[in-house]
Amino acid sequence: MKDDSLDEKLNILAGLGADLRNRDFLLTWEHSLEEIRSVLLAAKCLRELYEAGRSIRVFDTGLAVSIFRDQSTRTRFSFASAAAALGLTPTDLDEAKSQIAHGETVRETAVMISFLAEAVGIRDDIYLGEGNRDMRAMAAALQEGYERGVISRRPAVINLQCDIDHPTQTLADLLHLERHCGGLDGLRGRKFVVSWAYSPSYGKPLSVPQGLIGLLTRFGMDVTLAYPEGYGLLPEVVELAAKQAGASVGAFRVTHDMAEAFDGAEVVYPKSWAPMEVMRRRTELLRKEDRAGLAALEKACLEENFRHEAWHCDEALMKRTAGGSALYMHCLPADITGVSCPQGEVSREVFERYRLETYRQASWKPYVIAALIFLTRLPDPVGSLKRLGEAGRTRIL
């Protein structure tokens, strides 16, 4: 892939004319292609500057607040890395230590944590039907607080994974694909497979496969979604993917045969997720704190999963892909057979061959988050990038 110079990238970015200022980033498909491409370009510029030893600090001070309602390593560190690189102080709202459990409303909390904040990153992927909705409630509270003069700045709400989408992951994935395919145009017609894969765990969110079909169908890819009967995704996202594939002159289809899906694939993304129905019932049981019900649901779900343990990305399956050498992708951590579990999503051999590639895929995430903060919070993002490149400080003083 020929890599445009920083100046060229900035010219393209300026030409796109996208304006994300004072906005949130909650679902990729709420944003125009120009906006998506602007995020990718800004992420690449920030990375190029950082790796060339320039400081990308654009804030002298300010907070970047994170709220994690699920465990996280990668996203947590990506958010902290991005915030710190821009000059913000990453601060976690640890709900166990806060008074939110005391019946405090989301709306109040939103304002209380935001008086001096530039961004609020939220991971809320456990409760189906609630995660994204709650992010919107928080965003609305900030908007009200801003409009009514309670807070002087309006922090951007950034979706760090919800029940519907995982935009910082899928945009990192898209940057990895862009590099792999020699540019976004190189994605056109490429056969991409996102497939369910067996894992001895339950409750994994649907946001990654949904986010992938909701994003990649906009770039003319030939997208196949494969899963065992009963593991379908949110119908509205599947419909959206089909519609977008039509508009982008790409393709989108669903199959229930992993091997067939892999035939001729150029990129494969085998990953486990829970059946939607399980996520729905789990949400209800969690709300009721019904431990016995949760245990029973987990048992039933694991048994059901186990009926599909053949959904395993091994060398035999990889041989069916285009030239036997499709790109393997994963958002990590993967359930690797014989490494992290007795039987998982991917064989040790396949994973090991692509291990460093999955790390490269992940390496984009801090820059995607930095780009989102950059584009939503700065008055003149292109001008700021230009200044960082021209006259900016080095990161090591």
Does 152 contact a copy of itself by CB under 8 A?
yes
Report the candidate in 334, 179, 180, 347 with the shortest Cα–Cα distance to residue 272: 334
Q: Determine how many CB atoms are found less than 10 A away from the CB of residue 8.
A: 11
Q: Which is nearer to a copy of itself, 8 or 51 (CB)?
A: 51
Q: Which stretch binds a copy of itself (CB under 8 A): 146-154, 186-194, 250-258, 316-324?
A: 146-154
Q: Which residue has the tokens 């958002």?
A: 331
275 prior amide bond cis, ω within 30:
no
The strands making up 267-271's β-sheet, listed across from edge to edge, are: 251-255, 222-226, 191-196, 267-271, 327-328
Does 348 contact a copy of itself by CB under 8 A?
no
Q: Cα–Cα distance between 46 and 374 in angstroms, integer?
A: 9
Q: Which is nearer to a copy of itself, 99 or 325 (CB)?
A: 99
Q: Which stretch binds a copy of itself (CB under 8 A): 35-43, 103-111, 170-178, 210-218?
A: 103-111
Task: Count residues near a copy of itself (CB under 8 A).
Answer: 77
Does 14 contact a copy of itself by CB under 8 A?
no
Q: Which is nearer to a copy of itself, 62 or 250 (CB)?
A: 62
- Cα 275 from chain centroid (whole Å): 20
Report the candidate in 118, 8, 6, 50 with the shortest Cα–Cα distance to residue 393: 50
Site for a copy of itself in 195-254 (CB under 8 A): 201
Least distance from a copy of itself to the Cβ atom of residue 215, Å: 22
Q: Which of residues 49, 117, 223, 267 is near a copy of itself by CB under 8 A?
A: 117
Q: What sign does the CA torsion over 142, 146, 150, 155 have? A: positive
333 prior amide bond cis, ω within 30:
yes
Q: Which is nearer to a copy of itself, 115 or 306 (CB)?
A: 115
Does 98 contact a copy of itself by CB under 8 A?
yes
All residues at 6 or more sequence positions from 391 whose CB lies less than 8 Å from its CB, including other chains: none
- Cα 145 from chain centroid (whole Å): 28
Q: Which of residues 341, 343, 348, 353 is near a copy of itself by CB under 8 A?
A: 341
Q: Which is nearer to a copy of itself, 50 or 252 (CB)?
A: 50
All residues at 6 or more sequence positions from 8 whose CB lies less than 8 Å from its CB, including other chains: none
Give the HSE-up count for residue 190: Cα atoms under 13 Å, Cβ half-sphere: 23
Least distance from a copy of itself to the Cβ atom of residue 150, Å: 5
Does 333 contact a copy of itself by CB under 8 A?
yes
β-partners of residue 193 are 224, 268
Least distance from a copy of itself to the Cβ atom of residue 239, Å: 32
Least distance from a copy of itself to the Cβ atom of residue 240, Å: 29
Site for a copy of itself in 43-82 (CB under 8 A): 50-51, 55-63, 65, 68, 71-74, 76-78, 80-82
Q: Which is nearer to a copy of itself, 40 or 368 (CB)?
A: 368
